[in-house]
Structure 1
Amino acid sequence: MSMSQQTLSTARFSDSTALIAETLRQFNRGASAVTLDGLDEDSFQPVALALGRAGYRCIYGGEGHRFVPLAFDSQHIVVTATNDNLHFFQPVMAMMREQGHYVSTVSCRDLQATTLLNYLKHCDVAWFEWGDGMIIPASKLPKYCRMVCRIHSYELFQRYFLQANWQNIDEVVLISEAMKARFIELMGDKLPATLQITVLGNLTTHQPLTQVNPIRNPFHLACVARFSPQKNLLMLLPLMQALVKVDPRYTVFIAGRVEDERMYYSFCQLTNLYGLQNNIVYCGVLPAEKMAAWYQDKSCLVSVSYLESQGMGIFEAMLAGLKPVVFQASGGLQEYLPEAYLLTDIEAAVASITAGNPCPAQYVNEGQKLLRQVQLREQYPRLWQRNAGCSPLFSILIPTWNRERYLLPAVCSALNQRDAHFEVIVVDDGSTDGSLAQLEPIADPRLRIIRKAHSNAPDTRNRAIAEARGDYVVWLDSDDLLHANALSHYRALLARFPHADVISCGMEKHGNDKQFYSLVNHPPAKWLHQVAHGNFISNPGSCVRRSLYTAVGGYDPAFVRAHDYEFWTRAVGEAQVMFTACCNIGYRLHDGNLTGIGKAVDMSWEYRIFSALVKRYPLTLLLPNLTGKAREAFVAARREQLRKQSAVDNLLIVIDAIHQPLARLTAQIALLARQQDRQFTLLIVADKPLAFLGQPVLVADKICLQAIADFARQKMPGQFCRSYLLQPDQAEPQPRQAIIQLKNAILGEAEMPSLFQPLSTN
């Protein structure tokens, strides 16, 4: 292995500090890239943070993570091109590199989706040259970076580009307004509202002649065109016939590749048939660096194409001093070339050619003006540059409680943002583990740590909002990871949609078993009509205008679960909410999650939220597409659906038989036997077997919550269950209604009966 490429296995190092030190040593020894094998999603974050501070960046994340020297204000741009044809892109790529960006050109030959994804996940911008190549599979992968596709013209007549998922593409660049119109027409109602459409001409590496030779061979003509139908080279035959009648010395020299063998074969046969074999010369494919010399002895450039979106060959010939003799073509050529140069018949072309080229410098100057290269070089960088300026400030808010295992990677992922203007605020809800001790080595002015007494999750979120100074807050749960492009992506969206109050993002499941959630794109809109059907806004990774919390209030501390949904039901009455499919969050599923993804949860909070929702808003606004009776029917059906999902019948009523006499125990059993609602499960906890009771008995010397929870899971596997201890000395006004009242209390429709003491949930 050469010193320019080094691979280090993380297994060789006892901790990340030693790994980072050795990585930096390799760079100091002259390694141009270092690949670190064995980093998982969590261990990658602190390593990337430390190496980023030292000026190194991960550009690929497959089996190994490849780091290269890259300044913070530089970007990693991944480029692919159909058939690896980067001819038109070379000047753009040169500009990117001149600006200090790292450009990875990825060959499309035998390119696997996983390889492409590993590039896309670690770049800022992915550029796809032509619309019929890797843009199609790439657009169907999870989205992590800005995606730009440049379409020239032929793609719009083969329609492969329609197979792409244009919802995942940020911007399409077209060469002419005519091609833009065709693109929009072909996309039809599938054109995403979030897709930005830009028209920009090509850049060229051809330099205008500084010393123009005024003496040209007036009989030598140039034609730069490949043998393909749209170049219409067969039209050269009648043109040359007409010229030869004027003077047999006229000769056209053709430079270009053969794409259509049948056309080339026919052209050669007809050339001989028309007796023009001495007047038409095929020069083959010429390297770009030899074109200037090739043009030197020629006076005119002939173009007979029937479709040209810009006609770069025409302008490059003008830069060499050739006079353009161009037949009208559809596709956009008239947007670039003055009408005086566009011909419609052979007689006019013959007249233009035979008039000669007495002033080649005229065409050099006009070619420069028409190509607008200076202006284009100012416009192109917008396609890949991050939004300039320091406003707005983002506050990444990380509420946490006893997340020792996960907090460090989460905080590092926040600090790894490629955006330049943000703060990170960790609010600790009275953790009793070593969570905060892990953060002590991180000396970063962007990080603030707030400690508070333990309360609950919504209260901790409210404290985080109060501490935030940013115009927008971005939520990062302390067990999740924020993708490095998240803030850059939000800044770009807000620059385009400044009226957005909330941006909800896509999520990927943390770990190797990837699953994806909320992969939706939609521009900002009012969504009050949707909220009655359930929560549709993802809180993890969401970006929220901070003033929205002032307008509608913060999180309700009474909602220990679903407090985000409860907040959204209030926010949608005021806010413009937009959606992006960008996977800004790596979401971790584990037993401590409050959300319902992947496990049974207490859905009674959703029932309470719906009940408050139909009281807060008129049904005409909540359900605008339904009539009066249909609205009432929907509300009734939704209540019943949520009641069933709340699993209020999954009750475990526990009787303590350890600390009371048998007579009181039988009285309690009799009380439960008289209940009108018998949908519950009885469990007796005793210090000895009580088989004569005919009821389930858990033998223990004390009330053990874990043992009760284990019994509930065994009795009702995969379901949410609530456990309540029956109080021996409490009396209810209507004792036969106690279970009914308990269930109504769970749904927020009654007071909790004193007969029951909550023990635990799942």
Structure 2
Amino acid sequence: MSEKTLSCAQFSDTASLIAEVLRQFSRSASAITLDGLDEDRFHSVALPLGKAGYRCIFGAAGHLFVPLAATSQHIVVTATNDNFHFLQPVMRLMREQGHLVSEVSCRDVSAATLAGYLKHCDVAWFEWGDGMVIPASRLPKYCRMVCRIHGYELFQPHLLQANWQNIDEVIVVSEAMKARFSELLGENLPASLQITVLANLTDHQPATQFSARRNPFHLACVARFAPPKNLHMLLPLMQALVRIDKRYKVFIAGRVEDERMYYSFCQLTHTYGLQNNIEYCGVVPADKMAAWYQDKNSVVSVSYHETQGMGIFEAMLAGLKPVAFHASGGLDEYLPNDYLFSDIDAAVAAICAGNPNPQQYVAEGLNLLRQAQLRESYPRLWQPHAHQSPLFSILIPTWNRERYVLPAVCSALNQRDDHFEVIVVDDGSTDSSLAQLAHLDDPRLRIISKAHTNAPDTRNHAVAHAKGEYVVWLDSDDLLHANALRHYRALLARFPQTDVISCAMEKHGSEKQFYAMINHPPATWLHQVIHGNFISNPGSCVRRALYEKVGGYDPAFIRAHDYEFWSRAIGEAQVMFTACCNISYRVHDGNLTGIGKPVDMSWEYRIFSALVQRYPLAALLPGHSNKAREVFVAARREQLRLQSAVDNLCIVIDAINQPLAALTPMIALLARQQDRRFTLLIVADKPLAFVGQPVVIADTLCPQTIADFAQQKWPGQYYRSFLLQPGESEPQPRQAITQLKRAILGDAVMPSLFQRL
């Protein structure tokens, strides 16, 4: 078996690229890296390869595909300083269950490399809380992230550098450590972060027979030379034992982390005259520890801070008697009080009592460690939630998106969940959008065509055809991350009362921009909606019954129909937020709305007006006086009116198709307006010197001509253009512009004098 690299540039079409990848896999390749695979083409390639049993597990400069069963997870693991010692039994369990485990070294790893793994795995496991979890937590969140904290990290500043909003679950070994972690984060502890107390797994096997070489005077101490291990306390303990019998000797196994501490210990050993009673054995390999324990009688721990004390338990499995000082950190949650001592005299008495029955400690160690139960508990940390329910409906409304719709649909079908449907509703496209999807043969996909109306009506059509308990919205020019549904399923299992989940997203393309969102458990957000739309529609997950309860999208809202829906739903819905980056959002000229684009804010004005009519001000603005509420409403209304840019108004007179005699009264009408904050544009096919107003020369009344003029007048701003109709009369002709602006904001009927261009 071998690894291959293919350059995508040499394949003119995606089908030939896929065929070559499958051919290489069938011949000899165990892994294939595809170079030059952009984000759109990736989804089109990943779908057929996934159905053939191949999965991308890394994507940075190239995308690495390997054979991986659909039931298998890809789990990425890292450990501070590449110390995987405690993680080895966990990784072995992962692999026994058929999962692919990628060990990522901390050495020379870049942000791009780390992101390449995180984007293409199911679960990322960070061993220790002061290493790779810090940079990983500051990257966009794509996968489930678990961090296991062992104890020392909770007393160093590095842990606070991590963005714990992006971590799903923290594992600690004791309730004491859980309390310490919560105390350390304080108000910054995310409400959504799960903190689980779970003991360590161990590879140490219980001894079944005991060597005749066991020496009743030999003691074991498994500890590194680091302050929490408190090894200097061994000196008075050994001094007390040697006074009783000079044959007592302690053997220390562990690395030297603090050279000064080790130097001091060695010097004091001579000062105490214990050089014949204390022996430092250095680091003993894990597979040699069982033999190392054979001639020892008791294991001694003098740590002043110990969480679980795995070294103690591993010694017990070898038949050694535990003698441990009553340290803080959680040791007393695992060891019975009979083995915990708070003074040297008690420890000396326990050691001198001997160890006549080593099998007793083997049996007790097995009972206290509960390894069988742990092997059943650990998989919950990486296994996806059961797929029986709920069904998700991924809804993709589309109109003339032939360039983007195929990768969008493929990204939906690439979901690693297996209980969902994808519904594409085409709003009467006149391009080849539907033809782009013709080759997709997937029972999970339904394509529905309808006559062209508008976006909100098309969304309502999609909801009407959905069968899922929850719908997930995907615009046909965006991409859905493969873990999105699994992430939503996990959240709904934990918070079943949730009606809406809003997610984070990133800007599509090579120049990434991440639009983050903090985690927040489900809540009623009525007090927030009056300040503006705070729920992101792309990628949102919505309980379908909510549409039945509050109604669908208002077809009158050509823009901001999502905000208008949220403004009605917010009074009924429990809304939660997730930092998971489920959407790659594409910005292009054809966006209905877009990040950074000038938009028609008059729709927000209308929604605000409806909000203050629909809900009591006391509910919208709790904790304020009635006077403060009235002041806020007036100020917010004026702010939205200004943002609506109603003064960026271009009134167009058609001098091409109208007789010249009609121009004078039309210009006179505009000259009499009380509101003069508008711009007159006369479009003619020849110069009109007599009108005394600027004239734009054009062959026809073309929208582009008006757009070019408006862009020069209001660069980068939203504007509106209206055609002034000849021969129309109004009850108050001097108020026509005023009434037009009020109509734009929804506060009046549109005057018949004007036709929107």
What is the Cα deviation at residue 117 of structure 1? 1.2
Contact conserved, 1:675 with 1:737, CA < 8 A, in 2?
yes
- 1:178 corresponds to: 176
Partners of 1:318 and 1:491 in 2: how far apart?
42
- State the 1:470 CA deviation: 0.5
Distance 2:467 2:339 in 1: 60
> Could you tell me which residue of structure 2 aligns to residue 58 of structure 1?
56
Partners in 2 of 1:749 and 1:268 — Cα distance? 87
Counterpart pick for 1:482 among 476, 480, 501: 480
Matching of residues 236-315 of structure 1 within 5 Å: 236-315=234-313
SS of residue matched to 2:441: coil
Mean Cα deviation higher: 707-716 or 380-389: 707-716
Amino acid at match of 2:499: D
Residue matched to 2:87: 89
- Residues 505 and 515 in structure 2, CA contact (< 8 A), matched pair in contact too: yes
Q: How does 1:601-616 map to 2 (within 5 A)?
A: 601-616=599-614
Match of 1:698, SS state, is strand
- Counterparts of residues 534-683 of structure 1 (less than 5 Å): 534-683=532-681
Write out aligned runs for 1:132-143 (5 A). Answer: 132-143=130-141
Q: Does 1:454 align with 2:422?
A: no
Aligned to 2:343: 345
Decide which of 428, 431, 435 is 2:429's aligned counterpart: 431
Aligned to 1:751: 749
- Residues in 2 aligned to 1:742 and 1:361: alpha-carbon distance in whole angstroms: 92
Match of 1:377 in 2: 375
What SS does the aligned partner of 1:222 have? strand
Q: Given the two structures, how large is their TM-score scaled by the length of structure 2?
A: 0.98
Shift of 1:214: 6.6
Alpha carbons 2:387, 2:417 under 8 Å: kept: no
Q: Distance between the aligned counterparts of 2:438 and 2:423, measured in 1?
A: 14
Letter in 1 for 2:615: Y
* SS class of match (2:505): strand
Quick check: 1:214–1:359 contact (8 Å CA) kept in 2? no
Distance in 2 separating the partners of 1:45 and 1:293: 53
2:699 maps to what in 1? 701
Q: Is the deviation greater in 354-363 or in 461-470?
A: 354-363
Which consecutive unaligned segments of at least 5 residues does structure 2 have? none
The one of 215, 225, 234 aligned to 1:227: 225
The 2-side partners of 1:623 and 1:10 are apart by 56
Percent of counterpart pairs with the same letter? Answer: 79
Q: Scaled by the length of structure 1, what TM-score is found?
A: 0.98
Displacement of 1:589 after TM fit? 0.9
Contact between 1:508 and 1:583, CA under 8 Å: does it hold in 2? yes
AA aligned to 2:573 is A
Matched residue pairs, number? 757
Distance 1:202 1:222 in 2: 21
* CA offset digits 1:696-754 (Å, max 9, x no partner): 22222322122222222222211111111111132222221111111111111111111
Query: Secondary structure of 1:352's match?
Result: helix
Give structure 1 regions of 4+ aligned residues with deviation exceeding 6 angstroms.
none
Specify the SS of the correspondent of 1:194: coil
Give the Cα–Cα distance (whole angstroms) in 1 for the partners of residues 387 and 646 of structure 2: 53
Residue deviations 1:213-254 (CA, integer Å, cap 9, x gap): 476221222111111111111222222222222222222111
The residue aligned with 2:510 is 512
Which secondary structure does the structure 2 equivalent of 1:32 belong to? strand
Aligned Cα RMSD in Å? Answer: 1.3
Partner amino acid for 1:462?
N
Determine helix, strand or coil for the equivalent of 2:33.
strand
Q: Distance in 2 between matches of 1:578 and 1:180?
A: 25
Q: Deviations over 1:248-282 (max 9, x none)?
A: 22221111111111121122222222222222111
Match of 1:359? 357
Question: Residue 214 and residue 572 in structure 1: after superposition, are their counterparts in 2 closer, same or farther (change >3 A)?
Answer: farther
The within-5 A match list for 1:155-174 is: 155-174=153-172
CA contact (8 A) 2:147 2:169 kept: yes
Partner of 1:465: 463
1:505 Cα deviation after fit: 0.5
Q: State the 1:347 CA deviation.
A: 2.4
Report the AA paired with residue 743 of structure 2: A
Is 1:328 the equivalent of 2:326? yes
- 2:318 alignment partner AA: A
Checking the alignment, whether the CA contact within 8 Å between 2:587 and 2:594 is kept in structure 1 is no
2:495 maps to 497
Correspondence for 1:217: 215
Q: CA deviation at 1:196?
A: 0.3
Query: How far 1:692 moved relative to its partner?
Result: 3.4
Preserved contact between residue 390 and residue 420 of structure 1 (Cα < 8 Å) = no
d(CA) in 2 for partners of 1:552, 1:579: 21
C-alpha displacement of 1:115: 1.5
Alignment partners' CA distance in 2, 1:518 and 1:647: 29
1:148-205 Cα distance to aligned partner (Å, 9 max, x none): 1111111111132112111111111111111111111111111110110000111001
Deviations 1:549-604 (A, max 9, x none): 11111000111110000000001100011111111111111122222521111111
2:740 and 2:53 mapped to 1: Cα distance? 61
CA contact (8 A) 2:225 2:262 kept: yes
Q: Secondary structure at the match of 2:29?
A: coil
Q: Is the 8 A contact 1:562 1:605 kept in 2?
A: yes
- Which moves more between the two structures, 570-579 or 748-757? 748-757
Moved more, 525-534 or 23-32: 23-32
CA drift of 1:518 comes to 4.5
Contact 2:215 2:295 in 1 (8 A): yes
- Residue 192 of structure 1 is matched in structure 2 by 190
1: CA distance, partners of 2:173 / 2:432: 58
Give yes or no for the alignment of 1:103 onto 2:98: no
